[in-house]
Structure 1
Amino acid sequence: MSTGLRFTLEVDGLPPDAFAVVSFHLNQSLSSLFSLDLSLVSQQFLSLEFAQVLDKMAYLTIWQGDEVQRRVKGVVTWFELGENDKNQMLYSMKVHPPLWRAGLRQNFRIFQNEDIKSILGTMLQENGVTEWSPLFSEPHPSREFCVQYGETDYDFLCRMAAEEGIFFYEEHAYKSTDQSLVLCDTVRHLPESFEIPWNPNTRTEVSTLCISQFRYSAQIRPSSVVTKDYTFKRPGWAGRFEQEGQHQDYQRTQYEVYDYPGRFKGAHGQNFARWQMDGWRNNAEVARGTSRSPEIWPGRRIVLTGHPQANLNREWQVVASELHGEQPQAVPGRQGAGTALENHFAVIPADRTWRPQPLLKPLVDGPQSA
């Protein structure tokens, strides 16, 4: 029975042991598409047709002995044939989540009298994303009309989600290949946090969850948002909402973002202003850390313990991670330092909700015929 750290990869339609993983790099962040780059070797398949791999589902599994530490599932979007020494073939592969396909479609259309859940549901269904969950607590009323104007489905989805204060991430399963896209509008909906200790001893095994480096920073960001709109149905309506940012003790409060038109017709404009403010300040305070644990990824919460800086021993929301694995002995005849795993991640205090920064709306060049 294996007791060490190891990585495996399976691709639909090919034998489970078709590839051995030499190395991988997984880049993830909230409200973006993860990117998984793999270097592979195969002794079974010295020549593979692109049709055997491209647009197929691939499954990376991280093991500690016979116990699964993490699984990642996605679509093979790029595949390269490398060196062939007649005994083995080297390959390279890129994997993205199913939502990646939405970046290949572009459209002009109008949605009428639909709320954000309905609009996003249509986009996901059309792009074959069937495993997704909306976790909403904020009010998201129907829109009289909403236009996708020359944008890819993915860009439109991201813009609409940002306007409504919604972030998204991939929720991974440990014991199965289940994986779903989660759309969320508050940090309170994230899974329960787990404790992970500070331990600068970099020789710690992956089976022992710990953080070996942790650095906390702050930067000056916009301090307030003012959003304004007008409706001819209510000429005397002020249509102006303001939202001050939180946690600004270390900066001036003169950095105002003015937004016009705000695209609202009532008191819901206050929510738009608040969501924008959260988005502009989503990186005002960020901590970056290093760990050998694969269980720290965007969409999770952790509680740091045992750090000598007492104010850092608190709950954090993970917003980004870069997971890198090396398994050089997968190539027959190659010697190396053995299997290694390192996770560089970013977190923000969990007493606030991370939201995406506002995205620009496309502009119409002149009059348009109906």
Structure 2
Amino acid sequence: MSINVSIDVDAPLPSGSRSTQRPYELLAFPFPPGHFLVHSFRGSEGMSSPYSFDISVTSALIPELDVEQLVLGQRAVFVMRTARVPRAIHGVIRAVRSEGVRSQGKRSQHRLRLVPAFELLRHNRRSRIFQNLSVPEVVERVLSGFSMRWSLSKAYPKRPYITQYEETDRAFVERLLAEAGIFYYFAQPSALAHQVMDMATDALESLGPLGEAAGTAAKMAEALLERETIVFGDSHESHVPIDTGDLVTAAADAIGVPTSVSLGPVTVGLSSPTLRYFDQPGLAVERFDTVTAFAPIRSIRASQAEFRDYDPDRPQFPYSAKAPGADNPLEAAISAVSANVTVDPSKGADAVQGSVSVDWTSLLPQQQFEEYDHHGRFHFPEWSDAVREPQRILARARRRAHVAKGKSLCPGLAPGHRFTLDEHPLTPSNREYVVTQVRHRGSTAHDDHYSNVFECAPSDRIYPPTRVERQTVQAALTATVVGPPSEEIHVDEQGRIKVHFHWDREGGGDDSSCWIRTMQAWGGASWGAQFIPRVGMEVVVAFDGGDPDKPIVLGCVYNATHPMPFAVPADKTRSGIRTRTVQGATGFNELSFRDKRDAEQI
């Protein structure tokens, strides 16, 4: 269904605003407000995903000015004023494309892509190791300097060993969050968008032309100092209402106070704004609080999950846990409409009254679908995490079991934010939802048209990110055995050692890695072979299931500083073992075999 909506561009802005009354505006450092005229845009936002806005603009043509170079990578803010409350999208200009000139060569045209600063981390690729940190602690280290807010309902255990191997910072953070069942979304500054423009205007009026660079640049940077905040959550209580200009909500959001609190079975918090359902195209409607299409969707998904993992500390007792089966929505619906039937023969055609009660559950398929996972994310798993893992697996599997798709005229719809739908003809649809995806579209060519299509889920459901496949190491790597300066053999009670990978530029010393098991030729219960790699030796390391968080030492290799015990090729017929006495001594033990003809020797 195609919907065309006219927007009144003469709607007054709040008093005190000196910004122009354009429906869309872009401020990009170092250019002054009003330099760019917005003609159209498309934007996409999603839960646990960076947003992206492609904005088509024109500006006064200055032949000697390289707009692309000046604006690329700079802070910017895009403002939508098609609703009662302006919405500002802060970010960084990631790409600039020149699209020629227009207006008889007087104006240049460009398409700018605005993204959050977090998106730029896709270009930062690293390999490094984190030890004895929880997932939130690792994320905070990687995103140091970013504006973040945590809204977590549970504690997260420290993981002894986490490897970022040939991953970008963005991919690494998103993978860790997905493994832990933590979603994220972006919260924009709560101050009214037009105030940002006024700050920039004041900055310019207090100084000379833009060319008087230093002071002007500082003021412009101050005007753009507000930036997007990454909000991390793990429950439905982490979601905030969409912005309606309410001061209480804005204040709570600004200082990071939860907008809802769970008190056992009851959740108390700030109510979400109501959007009205109205699907009559061509009629005059309020542009900022109307949903023009809405379609609930239910899908079959797994209803139970099981997790199993192996721990070398307790090899005969693997971790195993299950998540209880989810409620069957069909059974719930049937039980809601079933009722008793009364029969009164004296009423003739109306003899049967009420609704027929049938055991519909006997007619429904009883098959339960299961998600089974047996590859944990811990190098050495912990029972508390093993118990929670099947719940995370099931939540991921059922994230789209109940969703809805719609269209609206509300630019305030943003992922991670709540709204309440009202006046829908299907009563069950009138409830509170959390937005999961939005695609915006706007133009000044057709009466400043704005619309969006969105996806949402019931606000009492958790919408975790999908599982991200981690970078696997499908090859053996070499590393150097490490230990304290006073020890030649650094080992724990299980014969495990620590190593320093050649690619690890941040680690060093005797704690470069976790304790790593070593493969032996034979291994029994207090019997078998025992050759412990010593400090300084080069070892070959493989990874269980290709998981860089699960290294295992396969053996040793020789190098220039650690030559073979028997000189080669001169003594190439000799095979055997030569040990060395520790503590700096020159003594050794040897068991060797010479296979030279007529000179055999043991």
Q: Please give the TM-score of this superposition, normalised by the length of structure 1.
A: 0.91
- Helix, strand or coil at the partner of 1:307: coil
- Give, in whole Å, the separation in 2 of the partners of 1:158 and 1:71: 25
| Equivalent residues, number | 358
Report the AA paired with residue 257 of structure 1: E
Structure 1 pair 32–311 and aligned structure 2 pair: CA distance change class (3 A): same
- Give, in whole Å, the separation in 2 of the partners of 1:365 and 1:15: 52
- Give, in whole Å, the separation in 2 of the partners of 1:105 and 1:339: 39
Report the AA paired with residue 240 of structure 2: P
Report the AA paired with residue 122 of structure 2: G
Q: Does 1:111 align with 2:130?
A: yes
Report the AA paired with residue 157 of structure 2: P
- Helix, strand or coil at the partner of 2:30: coil
**Matching residue of 2:489:** none
Structure 1 pair 45–190 and aligned structure 2 pair: CA distance change class (3 A): farther
- Give, in whole Å, the separation in 1 of the partners of 2:366 and 2:175: 29
Report the AA paired with residue 298 of structure 2: A
- Give, in whole Å, the separation in 2 of the partners of 1:206 and 1:23: 21
- Helix, strand or coil at the partner of 1:339: coil
Q: Does 1:99 align with 2:118?
A: yes
Q: Does 1:49 align with 2:67?
A: yes
* Post-superposition CA distance 1:145-187 (Å, at most 9, x none): 1111211111111110011110111102341554211111111
Q: 1:259 aligns with which of 373, 377, 380?
A: 373
Q: Does 1:179 align with 2:228?
A: yes
Q: CA deviation at 1:276?
A: 1.9
CA contact (8 A) 2:187 2:230 kept: yes
* Post-superposition CA distance 1:27-74 (Å, at most 9, x none): 000001111011111135465332211001111111148x64200011
CA contact (8 A) 2:414 2:435 kept: yes
Q: CA deviation at 1:133?
A: 0.7
Report the AA paired with residue 249 of structure 1: P
- Give, in whole Å, the separation in 2 of the partners of 1:45 and 1:205: 42
Q: Which stretch of structure 1 is more off in the superposition, 261-270 or 140-149?
A: 261-270
Root-mean-square deviation (Å) = 2.1
Structure 1 pair 298–45 and aligned structure 2 pair: CA distance change class (3 A): farther
Q: Does 1:301 align with 2:317?
A: no
**Matching residue of 2:524:** none
- Give, in whole Å, the separation in 2 of the partners of 1:215 and 1:338: 28
Report the AA paired with residue 27 of structure 1: S
- Helix, strand or coil at the partner of 1:215: strand
* Post-superposition CA distance 1:269-306 (Å, at most 9, x none): 12122112111221121101111111111011111111
Q: 1:194 aligns with which of 267, 273, 282?
A: 273
Q: CA deviation at 1:77?
A: 0.8
- Give, in whole Å, the separation in 1 of the partners of 2:468 and 2:307: 15
Q: 1:357 aligns with which of 452, 466, 487?
A: 466
- Give, in whole Å, the separation in 1 of the partners of 2:231 and 2:366: 36
List gaps (5 residues or longer) in structure 1: 329-336
Report the AA paired with residue 159 of structure 2: R
Q: Which stretch of structure 1 is more off in the superposition, 146-155 or 205-214?
A: 205-214
- Give, in whole Å, the separation in 2 of the partners of 1:366 and 1:170: 38
CA contact (8 A) 2:296 2:404 kept: yes
**Matching residue of 1:269:** 386
CA contact (8 A) 1:205 1:292 kept: no
- For the pair shown, the structure with the greater C-alpha radius of gyration is 2
Q: Which stretch of structure 1 is more off in the superposition, 81-90 or 13-22?
A: 81-90
Q: Please give the TM-score of this superposition, normalised by the length of structure 2.
A: 0.57
- Helix, strand or coil at the partner of 1:144: coil
Q: CA deviation at 1:253?
A: 4.4
Structure 1 pair 369–245 and aligned structure 2 pair: CA distance change class (3 A): farther
- Helix, strand or coil at the partner of 1:73: strand
CA contact (8 A) 2:125 2:168 kept: yes
Q: Does 1:225 align with 2:305?
A: yes
Identity %: 25
Higher-strand-fraction structure:
1
- Helix, strand or coil at the partner of 1:27: strand
**Matching residue of 2:514:** none
- Helix, strand or coil at the partner of 1:34: strand
* Post-superposition CA distance 1:197-222 (Å, at most 9, x none): 11123444555411111011122223
Q: CA deviation at 1:115?
A: 0.8
- Helix, strand or coil at the partner of 2:39: strand
- Give, in whole Å, the separation in 2 of the partners of 1:237 and 1:206: 63
- Give, in whole Å, the separation in 1 of the partners of 2:87 and 2:312: 55
- Give, in whole Å, the separation in 2 of the partners of 1:235 and 1:299: 42
CA contact (8 A) 1:229 1:265 kept: no
1:27-106 to 2 correspondence within 5 Å? 27-43=44-60, 45=62, 48-64=66-82, 68-84=85-101, 85-106=104-125
Report the AA paired with residue 141 of structure 1: P
Q: 1:14 aligns with which of 19, 22, 31?
A: 31
**Matching residue of 1:216:** 296
Structure 1 pair 94–183 and aligned structure 2 pair: CA distance change class (3 A): same
Structure 1 pair 50–64 and aligned structure 2 pair: CA distance change class (3 A): closer
Structure 1 pair 240–224 and aligned structure 2 pair: CA distance change class (3 A): same
Report the AA paired with residue 106 of structure 1: R
- Give, in whole Å, the separation in 2 of the partners of 1:307 and 1:354: 24
Q: Which stretch of structure 1 is more off in the superposition, 39-48 or 294-303?
A: 39-48
Report the AA paired with residue 77 of structure 2: Y
Structure 1 pair 245–54 and aligned structure 2 pair: CA distance change class (3 A): farther
**Matching residue of 1:237:** 317
Q: Which stretch of structure 1 is more off in the superposition, 164-173 or 47-56?
A: 47-56
**Matching residue of 1:332:** none
CA contact (8 A) 1:287 1:348 kept: yes
- Give, in whole Å, the separation in 2 of the partners of 1:340 and 1:158: 35
Report the AA paired with residue 3 of structure 1: A
Q: CA deviation at 1:248?
A: 3.6
Report the AA paired with residue 401 of structure 2: A
- Helix, strand or coil at the partner of 1:283: coil
Report the AA paired with residue 59 of structure 1: V
- Give, in whole Å, the separation in 2 of the partners of 1:146 and 1:252: 41
- Helix, strand or coil at the partner of 2:313: coil
Report the AA paired with residue 354 of structure 1: Y
Q: Which stretch of structure 1 is more off in the superposition, 358-367 or 313-322?
A: 358-367
Q: 2:173 aligns with which of 157, 176, 181?
A: 157
Report the AA paired with residue 74 of structure 2: K
Structure 1 pair 224–301 and aligned structure 2 pair: CA distance change class (3 A): same
Q: 1:324 aligns with which of 437, 441, 448?
A: 441
Q: Does 1:3 align with 2:11?
A: yes
Report the AA paired with residue 89 of structure 1: S
